[in-house]
């Protein structure tokens, strides 16, 4: 899938620890019915073999939906399953190294916790930037202080590539990050931990679409 064809508007990041006993596949299936446009598989504790098995299964479920599979952190896993892309944090493999390995075969997203991070990511050739945390969040404890909407606006003024915001986003604030320059809203608990992930995704999708119409 070409970078220009990716719809980042409702970007699901998986987290099996928040899934209320449901499998990642069940969450992804429900989220797809609700309208998610991008899925990032994030696995911090499982074995490489299990990660590959999960990724292949999710990739199979995404077929026909025109929804890309992004692998968090692991370039080797992304290559093994022929994913659409990989997402790298500031302490993960440097983007120049990832590009040398991937040779433009997939998109690369980079996390940015500051304006400096974002500008550098664009300069280094990232296809999109994961901006955040925007608000305080309990799903990631190793991040810098929340950027807030002003931080988002500052980054939007400085870079041209797509911005996907993450961190404390839900039905109450998803629209405002779109209105302040985000191309997409990345959520974890708002869908994964929801009683009804399909309904939660559908509600977020509607809010995002309405916000985009006002731009």
Structure tokens at 71: 């692998």
> Would you list the DSSP string of 43-62?
-SSS-HHHHHHHHHHHHHHH
Catalytic residue, from 9, 19, 74, 111: name it. 111
Q: Give Rg (Cα) of the chain.
A: 16
Break the chain down into helix, strand, coil percent, rounded to 5.
45, 15, 40
To the query of whether residue 140 is one of the catalytic residues in this protein, the response is yes
Report the SS3 class of residue 23. Answer: coil
Q: Is 93 helix (H, G, I), strand (E, B) or coil?
A: coil
Integer Cα distance of 171 and 162 in angstroms:
21
- At 45, list the tokens: 């504790």
- Concerning whether 111 is annotated as a catalytic residue, the answer is yes
Annotated catalytic residue 189: no
Q: Considering 16, 140, 199, 206, which one is annotated as catalytic?
A: 140
**Active-site annotation, residues:** 42, 111, 140
């Amino acid at each position: 899938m070409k970078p220009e064809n990716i719809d980042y508007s409702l970007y699901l990041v998986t987290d099996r620890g928040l899934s209320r006993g449901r499998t990642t596949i069940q969450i992804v299936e429900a989220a797809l019915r609700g309208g998610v446009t991008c899925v990032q598989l994030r696995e911090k504790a499982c074995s490489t073999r299990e990660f590959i098995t999960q990724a292949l299964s999710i990739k199979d479920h995404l077929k026909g939906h025109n929804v890309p599979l992004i692998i968090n952190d692991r370039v080797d896993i992304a290559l093994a399953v022929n994913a659409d892309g990989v997402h790298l944090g500031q302490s993960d493999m440097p983007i120049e190294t990832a590009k040398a390995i991937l040779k433009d075969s997939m998109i690369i997203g980079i996390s940015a916790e500051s304006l400096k991070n974002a500008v550098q990511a664009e300069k280094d050739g990232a296809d999109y930037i994961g901006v955040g945390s925007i608000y305080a969040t309990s799903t990631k404890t190793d991040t810098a202080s929340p950027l807030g909407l002003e931080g988002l606006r500052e980054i939007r003024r400085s870079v041209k590539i797509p911005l996907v915001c993450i961190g404390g986003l839900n039905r109450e604030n998803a629209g405002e990050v779109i209105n302040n320059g985000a191309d997409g809203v990345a959520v974890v608990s708002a869908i994964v931990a929801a009683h009804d992930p399909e309904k939660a995704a559908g509600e977020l999708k509607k809010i995002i679409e309405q916000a985009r119409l006002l731009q």
